[in-house]
Structure formats: C-alpha cells, structure tokens
Structure 1
Amino acid sequence: MKICFVVNSVETETAGTTVYLMHEAFKRKHQVYIMGVGDFNYNNNQELTVHCKTLGKNAKSETPKEYINSLKSKKAKSEKISVKDLDVLFIRNNPTEEEAGRTWAEHSGIAFGRLVQQEGVLVLNDAFALSNAFIDKLYFEELPSSIKPASLITRKKEDILQFFEDHKKKMILKPLEGSGGRGVYLIDKNEKNLNQIIETLTEKGYIIAQEFLPAVKDGDVRVLLLNGKVMEKDGHFGIIRRVSGEGEFRSNISQGASPNSTEYTEEMKKIVEITAPKLIRDGLFFVGLDIVKDKLIEINVLSPGGMDSFPYLGLPNFSDQVIEAIERKLEYKKNYGDKISNRELATMD
C-alpha cells in the first residue's frame, strides 16, 4: 500500500508513536510517505497534491530513530504526488503542539483530510469525525457522566468561583483547547492568584473547571484503543501509567512524568466498554484514553501517543497490530468499494 502520514512538520518530528507506525509499515515493504500540514496543494482544477518525503525501496533502517533521521537527510526523496495515488492518509499532526505564529496549521490537516477522503482515499481517523471532535475536551463531555469527574465549561468567573465553592475549594483549571499539560492549574483554598489565573485563561478562550481527583497522586493511565478495543498482544495490553514528578500533579510525559507498566483493571475495562461504542460509531480508529482510577479525565482523538514508551517497559511493539488493521481495511475496501463508508471502514476490525 501507499500510505502518507501527516505531521506538524517533518523537520521537527521525533521518534514517537507516529514514527514507530511509519517504521513498521516501512519494514513490511509498504511505500511510506511523510508530510507536514503545510505541504498540501489544491489548484483551481480541483487537483489535490502533496509534497512529501520517502525512502527508496532498497533503503535500510533498523530503528524508528534511524528511520526518521534518514527521512530528514539527503537519503530521502522529495516527491510531489496526487492524493489519488495514495491508499491511506493517516492524520497524525497535533494542533496543540504548533508553535506561535502557526495558527493556520491547527485545522489544516483535518480540513485537507476531508478533501482527500472525498477523493476515495482511506483517511484515518475519519476526517469528518476529527472535525467533529477537534476540541477533544468538548467531545469528551459528550460521554456519559458516570465515567467522568464533575466539570464546568465556561468563561464566566462567577460560575467558576461557585464551582470552586461547591467542590470544597479544590479543583483543576485548564483551557478548553490545548494539551500536554500546558496552562493547567491545581487550585486550592491557599491559591492567592485565582482571579488572575481565571483572567489569563479566559483571554485564550473557554475554561474547564474539573473536580480534583485525589487518586491523581498515583498518576494517570494512558489506554490506547484500536477499533474501539484495547490493544492486546501475548497477554499484554497497550496501556502505560504516567507518574508525576515530585511536587507535580500533571501526568504528562512532556511535563516530566515517568512511564510505568500497570495492570488493566476492571475499572478501566468499564470505561472502555462505555466509551467504545461512540468511538466506533464516529469512525475514530486510533484513540488514547487518560484514566485516573475509575474516571476518564481526557480523550485524545487527534494524535494519541505513548507507543514509544512500550519497549522500555517490556511491552510488545504494538505497531504491527495498527498496520495490520489498516491492511485489512484496504482489503475490505478493495472488495466492497464505496459500499462501505470511510467512517464505517475506519473502525472495522
């Protein structure tokens, strides 16, 4: 197959989950391309092309890190190809990691992804579903309240202060749009700058006030779902516990948290069982759930990560399961054509 991965920028991409998936596809002798969100072209004849990089058929690369370094080097070939020549477009750029001055890039991957999808190319996750869930914290609020902490989305200070009072003067404040632990505050009765924090956050948009979960001291768990199911191989599951550093309540790896192995508990299974039907219906193929004990605190539908931590925890490399799932989807597409929609195909086992 010919598969193209969309990232924020080829130059800044590191050996994370996306590159692990690319490297697995490369090892399986597929033609793999990488492009940034700024590499789409759409002319007035409605021909959609992309500028991308790839390695030749005889190229060798033993590790994901070696692979991405080769793609950034002179070994890589730069090509301009019609999207109609692709079998799969995998949208993996993370809008919340865009640098200042690149607001144009935040929606670009999904917006062009919709056009690519209309050309009959398999797009993962489904581009229209991604549009719907672009503000993933708002998409998260569509899930049943039984698996979520109490929360409030608002820009009104008086409502946030009331939420604070109602929850024993302890809460989490964070922007509605964003990830990676940036702009997230733990507020308690000793906080002297609450008004200033609220003003700073509301300048950027809506705020989420969320119930504080004491169990967060033990970190959170990232659960990776494929076709609405937890990845499983040789008795191991695609989950990691992220433990915060000393004096830090955020469990993001980017904020210094450490990855650890963990069990797949009954509480996690219940959350997955409740969440999965919606993800499957919406065409969300590859998703990350962040769980604290018996509560789902976030859902990542745009570019879930964590697979690069698996080798260090003695877990299998689940990349092969992801690529095999895509291979099966293309076989279904070959047999049934447009009788199965992209959204249905995206989460079909």
Structure 2
Amino acid sequence: MKLAFLVNDVDTEVDEYATTRLARAAARSGHEAWYVGVGDLELGSHDGLFAARARPATWKRRDDLASFMERIKACEAERIVMDELDALVLRNESIDDLQARPWASPMGVVFGQMLAARGVTVVNDPNTLHRATSKLYLEEFPETVRPRSLVTRSPEAIQQFVDEVGHCVVKPLYGAKGRNVFMIDGPGETNLAQMTEAVLQDGYAIVQEFIDATDDGDARIFLLEGRILERDGRPAAFRRVPTGNDPRANISTGGQSVPLEIGAPVLGIVEAMHDKLIADGMFLVGIDVIGSHVVEINAESPGGFQSVERLYGIDVAETVIEALERRAMPPS
C-alpha cells in the first residue's frame, strides 16, 4: 500500500503524536509511507496530476519514535504523484492554522475531496470532515447521548440559556486543547459577560449543560469504523482526570490519564453513534465522554495513542493501519 499522511507542516511534527505512531505502524508493516504538509501540494496544469513535495517515512529496526521522526525531517523532499496513492490520511488540524495561516486551514479537506474524487481512499471522509471539525457535529447525533446545548453568537441568548439550565460550560464552536473553555456556575455568574466576550472572539459559541463527573474527569475513547478500537483484546480508551483546581481534563492542560473500564453506558453510546459514523465515513474518531453523554467528537487528527500505549502496553496504530489496508486494498 502506498499512503501519505497530510499534516500541518512536516517540520513541526512531534514524535509523540498519534500520527507518528500511525506512520511507524505503516512503515513497519512494509507499506510505502510519506509525510506531506498542507503547503506542499500542487496541481499540474500540463498533466492535471496532483503532486506533492513529500518526505519518506522509513523505519529501521532500532528506531524509537524520536529517531523515526528525526529521519523523516532530515530527508530531502521528493516529488510524488498523489493520484497514485492508495490512501491519504488527513491528520492536519485546521484550527491550528486558523489564525497564523488562514489560507492553510481549509486545504486539507479541499485537497482530500479532490483526491477522493480521483479514486484515492481518503480518511476521514473529507466530504463530512468539514462539518465534523466543528463541535456542531455532535448536534447531529441522538439527544440521548449528548448534553442539552445552544450554539449562538448572541450574549443575550447565552444569558437566557444559563438562566434556564444553570450549571454550564461555554467554549468556542471551533476550538481545541481547552482554549477559552469556561465553567459557568449558573444564574448570577459575575464573570459571564467577560467569559462570553472571550469565547465570541473565536466565532460562534457553544454552551453545554454541565455534566457532573465529580473527580473522575472525562473519558477519551477511540472508535474505528464505528466500534471501539482495540488491540490484543484491550480497548483504546482511558480516563482523563483534571489536576489541581482546573476543571479541564485535557492532557494539554495538565490532566492525567488513567485506565478506563468499558461499561454499559459507553457501549450504549457507541451503539447509538455507530450507524451515523459509518454513513459519514468517519473512519477514526475520538469521543470524549462524561457519564452517559458525549461532550465532544474529535474527528480531525484525534490524539492520545501515547496514553493508550503507556497504560496498556499496546500499539493500537497497527489495528488502524490493518483496517486501512482492508479499506484501500479490498481483496479482488
């Protein structure tokens, strides 16, 4: 299989990323793997082919993640024809480019759509991914698995929602890594105006009913083709516990990962989401769960494989690549 991983910028990739683990799993399995940055693509006017300045992802027996990534970055870029790929894995985070490189933010989806139309297997499906990158995507799933919520740019509407619902969380509709996420205690919150102003600077706000997780934090669960991702019978899932007084459990904000036992509430959520994820072509997603509710769907470059590897000693990236093989190269 010939495949490429599309990232924001090859030179800013980090060895601990889930993308690195996916590329390592592909190279270790004997596939021809490449790294391509969002700014490295071109469409030829003379031949109509997609090309890219790509870095080869080659694996050597003694490699760890750091040496594997160092070799990728040290390689000279080579011209490859993207039309010849069996698969393209979209791993760029559009939100990271939104401020500094706004031209780059939509291009992963745009190029992915064009290559999919040319017969390349693209995951996640770029025709849905442009919706799924927004927290608005969660609103398309059954009400039974998500908190009551409001999407708006009206401070007055946010105030009314808080008055009706009480304890809430307000955050940008397009956002990541816990930035501008605020807890609202309920009616009478003295800092609501300032919180709302900060969130609305990033566009639309989403206000969600607060789902109490006590001290247990939230759970990150990876779904592959609509089912819980597993390796050697162990699920790719863990609980993220906040530290100190910060209610956010994101690993990027200091949260700690601990093992998660999969119970009936999680299995019910997965069953309720399965058909739509399959229909939408969401090959690999991470869902954030509190109790019996999904509070976020991470469809664009979901991360956390390092926590799964550390907690359970398994490499779930191998399972993902095996599934991609079946999708891109079905038996004749």
- Corresponding residue SS for 2:66: helix
Equivalent residues in 2 for 1:157-172 (5 A)?
157-168=155-166, 170-172=167-169
Give the deviation of 1:51 after TM superposition: 0.9
Counterpart CA distance in 2 for 1:224 and 1:48 is 32
For the pair 1:79 / 2:78, whether they are aligned, the reply is yes
Superposed displacement of residue 61, structure 1: 5.0
Structure 2 match to 1:340? none
Q: Does 1:29 align with 2:26?
A: no
Alpha-carbon distance, 1:199 to partner = 2.2
The answer to whether 1:126 aligns with 2:125 is yes
Over the matched positions of the two proteins, sequence identity in percent amounts to 36
Deviation at 1:12, TM superposition (A): 1.0
Unaligned 5+ residue runs, structure 2?
none
1:216, 1:292 within 8 Å by CA — same for their partners in 2?
Answer: no
Code of the residue aligned with 1:78 in structure 2: it is A
- Counterpart contact for 1:130–1:302, Cα < 8 Å: yes
SS at the partner of 2:92? Answer: coil
Q: Which amino acid aligns with 1:21?
A: L
Change in Cα spacing, 1:203 to 1:55, as seen in structure 2 (3 Å) is closer
Give the 3 Å change call, closer, same or farther, for CA 132–209 of structure 1 in structure 2: closer
Shift of 1:150: 1.0
Question: Residues 311, 204 of structure 1: CA spacing in aligned structure 2 closer, same or farther, 3 A cutoff?
Answer: closer
Provide the residue aligned with 1:174 in structure 2. Answer: 171
- The aligned counterpart of 2:89 is 90
Check the 8 A contact 2:95/2:105 in 1, yes or no. yes
1:55 deviation in Å?
Answer: 4.5
CA RMSD of aligned residues (A): 1.7
Q: In 2, are the aligned partners of 1:216 and 1:249 still within 8 Å (CA)? A: no
How big is the shift at 1:125?
A: 1.1
| Cα shift at 1:133 | 2.3
When residues 117 and 216 of structure 1 are mapped into structure 2, their CA distance, relative to the original with a 3 A threshold, is: farther
After the TM superposition, which residues 321-336 of structure 1 pair with which residues of structure 2 at under 5 Å, given as runs? 321-332=319-330, 335=332
Alpha-carbon contact 2:171-2:207 (below 8 Å) kept: yes
**2:41 and 2:61 mapped to 1: Cα distance?**
28
Give 1:303 shift: 1.0
> Equivalent residue of 2:277, what SS?
helix
How many residues align? The count is 329
1:152-201 per-position Cα deviation (integer Å, ceiling 9, x unaligned): 11111121111111123x21110111111111001125742211221232
SS in 1 for 2:69: helix
| Corresponding position of 1:261 | 259
Q: Deviations over 1:10-56 (max 9, x none)?
A: 11111211100100111111111001111110133432111110156
Equivalent-residue separation in structure 1 for 2:214 and 2:282 (angstroms): 27
Residue identity matched to 2:30: K
1:90 maps to amino acid:
V
Letter in 2 for 1:48: F
Aligned 1:78-157 pairs, distance under 5 A: 78-98=77-97, 100-135=99-134, 137-157=135-155
> Are residues 127 and 188 of structure 1, via their aligned partners in 2, closer, same or farther at CA, if it must alter by over 3 Å?
same
Q: Give the conservation status (yes or no) of the 8 Å contact 1:226–1:285.
A: yes
Partner of 2:54: 52
Cα distance in structure 1, aligned partners of 2:109 and 2:217: 31
**What SS does structure 1 have at the residue aligned with 2:147?**
coil
Structure 1 residues 166 and 99, CA gap change in structure 2 (3 angstroms): closer
In the alignment, is residue 63 of structure 1 matched against residue 64 of structure 2? yes
Letter in 1 for 2:239: R
Determine the C-alpha separation between the residues in 2 that align with 1:219 and 1:63: 31
TM-score, normalised relative to structure 1? 0.90
Q: Report SS of the residue matched to 1:159.
A: helix
Aligned to 1:6: 6
Structure 1 letter corresponding to 2:176: S
Give the 4+ runs in structure 1 shifted more than 4 A: none
The CA distance in 1 between the partners of 2:202 and 2:302, in whole Å, is 24
Distance in 1 separating the partners of 2:288 and 2:254: 16
**TM-score between the two structures when normalised by the length of structure 2:** 0.94
